[in-house]
Amino acid sequence: INSKPKQRAFLIACLTDEDFKPDHYEPWLTQEPDNALAYILYGNALTSAAWDARGNGTADTVPLYRFDAFWERLRLAQQAFQKAIALDKTDPEPFHGLITVAMGLQQEPNALWEHFVQVIKRDKNHYFGHQSMLTALTAKWGGNGKDMFLFARRTVQNLPAGDVLYGLIPTAHIE
């Protein structure tokens, strides 16, 4: 699976969409503390748990007490992704996870770009990394339409016909 990064990224995304809670991964981390994939999946589960704790309303409609659990889980996810990076510096997945964490922690745009650059250094056409960066550039996340469309258009320049990254253009229009 490591030799097929697109399939690996898709499988990680599928596992993230499942209802696996962080405690599902804790025994694995105990048994295999040097397994970067375990930390990636744990970080993704913590990120999902953070958003579950926050709820899906706009920030002005979310009770303040929910933000404490949200930020704490995101900080734990950030630590898990950093541990995964320490274990495997070649993997784009933890950097992809850090984009979402940075968005939730309201980090500066430079932090988002640093994570994205690390993703594409490892996999220049990483779909989910591009998708997350596009989302980070939307107005609802503090970006603007101009930068979002510029990112989408520059991403697809010189790609072969039918590349999955062309999906960024309609996604930008939907956003």
79-115 pLDDT, tens digit per residue, is 999 999 999 999 999 999 999 999 999 999 899 999 9
Chain segment 114-163, per-residue pLDDT in tens: 999 999 999 999 999 999 999 999 998 889 989 999 999 999 998 999 88
Within 8 A by CB and 6+ apart from 84, the residues are 36, 37, 39, 40, 43, 91, 93, 94
Q: Distances from the Cα of 103 to the Cαs of 9, 11, 31, 35, 124, in angstroms?
A: 20, 23, 31, 26, 21
Residue 1, pLDDT above cutoff 50: no
Summarize the chain as % helix, strand, coil (round to 5). 75, 0, 25
First-last CA distance in the chain: 33
Contact 92, 126 (CB under 8 A): yes
